[in-house]
Amino acid sequence: MILTLTLNPSLDRTIEIGSLDRGAVIRAAAAHLDPGGKGVNVSRALLANGVTSCAVVPYGGDEGRQLVNLLSLEGLDMVTVPVSGSTRSNVTLAEPDGTITKINEPGTPLTADELDVIADAVLTAAHSADWVVASGSLPPDVPHDVYAGLCRRFAAAGILLAVDTSGPALTSVLAAGPALVKPNREELAEATGVPITCLGDVLEAAGKLRASGARAVLASLGADGAVLVEETGIWYGEAVVSEPRSTVGAGDAMLAGFLAAGGTGPAALSTALAWGAAAVALPGSRMPTPNDIDPTPIPISTPNPTRPLTPHP
C-alpha cells in the first residue's frame, strides 16, 4: 500500500482556451474541475490503475468539502482531517500548443495542533504502507522541516519515504535520508545551485542531493524525459507526446507509476515515463487509466552527459 500526504491540497480548475490575450474577453473551449494537490494526484493515479493507496487530506471550508466529495466520487480511500482554514483553489489556462499558465493560491496556514493531528493520522495509517509520499508545497507559516521530522519517524519504523517538494522543504529533508526525492528541472537547480542545461548538469545536481542524504533521485525533465540516479545505477529515458494537452499532474502520475512498478531500477523508470506521458495527453489534471497508457516499454539507457536540454523560454 502507498500512503500519500498532501498538506496543501486544492480544487484545480483547468480552462482550455485558444490563446491567452491579456485584457481580452476569452471564450473557453472546455473546462474541468478536479481534486488537486500533488499527493492527492499520486493517489488518484494509483487508484486509476488498481494500485492500493490511501490519501491523508486536510480540508477546510466549502472548497474543502467539495474536494472531499470529488475524491469520494472517485472512490479514493482517504483519511480526512478537518482544519480551520479554507482549502485553496487553483486555475490553469491551457492553450492548444501545450502552453500552460497556472495561478495557484498559497493556501491557508495550519496551526501547530492541526499539524500534530495530521502527523498522527499519517503515522497511524502508515503502519501497513510500503511507501509514504510527502508531496507538494507547504501552506504559509508551516515549518519547512515538517517533512524532515516525518522522515526520521518513518525511518525508525522501517517505512520508505518519497518526497516531492521544493525550496527549503526539499533541502531540509535531505539530511533525514529520504528513500527518494523527485525534483523537476527548476527544483533541482534551485536546491543545488547548478544551472541545468544538459544531462550532465542533471547528473551533477542529482549527485549533490544524494551526497546531502537522499538515497535516490528521480529528476523529471518535462519533454526531455527523466533521469534516475540510485546507488545501483544511473538511467535515462524519454517519452514523446504527439498531442500534449496539460502538464498539470504529469509529474505526480510519473511518481505514481514509478512507485507502482517497485520504486527502483530502469523498469520502474520506464513505467514512470509511460504514466507521465499519458497524463500529458489528457485534459486538466486527470490521471491516466490503463486504457490511456501505452503498454510498449519505453527504452531506458545510460544518459549522455553532453545531451542538451530544451532551452527554457
CATH number at residue 27: 3.40.1190.20
Interatomic CA distance for residues 207 and 217, integer angstroms? 8
Q: Kindly report the pTM of this predicted structure.
A: 0.92
In a domain, 308, yes or no: no
Please report the pLDDT score of residue 99 as a whole number.
Answer: 86
| Pairing mode of beta strands 226-230, 217-220 | antiparallel
SS3 labels along the chain: CEEEECCCCEEEEEEECCCCCCCCCCCCCEEEEEEECHHHHHHHHHHHCCCCEEEEEEECHHHHHHHHHHHHHHCCCEEEEECCCCCEEEEEEECCCCCEEEEECCCCCCCHHHHHHHHHHHHHHHHHCCEEEEECCCCCCCCCCHHHHHHHHHHHCCCEEEEECCHHHHHHHHHHCCCEECCEHHHHHHHHCCCCCEHHHHHHHHHHHHHCCCCCEEEECHHHCEEEEECCEEEEECCCCCCCCCCCCHHHHHHHHHHHCCCCHHHHHHHHHHHHHHHHCCCCCCCCCCCCCCCCCCCCECCCCCCECCCCC
In a domain, 311, yes or no: no
**Count of domains observed in the chain:** 1
* Structural domain for 8, as ranges: 2-280
Interatomic CA distance for residues 220 and 26, integer angstroms? 32
Place of cell 509529474: 251
In a domain, 86, yes or no: yes
For helices 265-280 and 250-260, angle between their N-to-C axes, nearest 10 degrees: 150
In a domain, 26, yes or no: yes
Nearest to 245 by CA among 280, 289, 210, 218: 280
- Residues assigned a catalytic role: 252
Please report the pLDDT score of residue 313 as a whole number.
Answer: 60
* Cross-strand partners of 284: none
* Cross-strand partners of 53: 2
Please report the pLDDT score of residue 54 as a whole number.
Answer: 97
In a domain, 99, yes or no: yes
Please report the pLDDT score of residue 100 as a whole number.
Answer: 86
Please report the pLDDT score of residue 153 as a whole number.
Answer: 85
Contact by Cβ (8 Å): 262, 232: no
Interatomic CA distance for residues 90 and 291, integer angstroms? 28
Pick out the chain residues at pLDDT < 70: 313
Contact by Cβ (8 Å): 5, 56: yes
In a domain, 32, yes or no: yes
Phi and psi dihedrals of 293, rounded to 5?
-95, 125
Tell me the CA distances in angstroms from 195 to 23, 128, 190, 207, 277, one per residue in order: 35, 40, 8, 14, 25
In a domain, 310, yes or no: no
In a domain, 293, yes or no: no
Tell me the CA distances in angstroms from 42 to 4, 14, 251, one per residue in order: 7, 18, 9
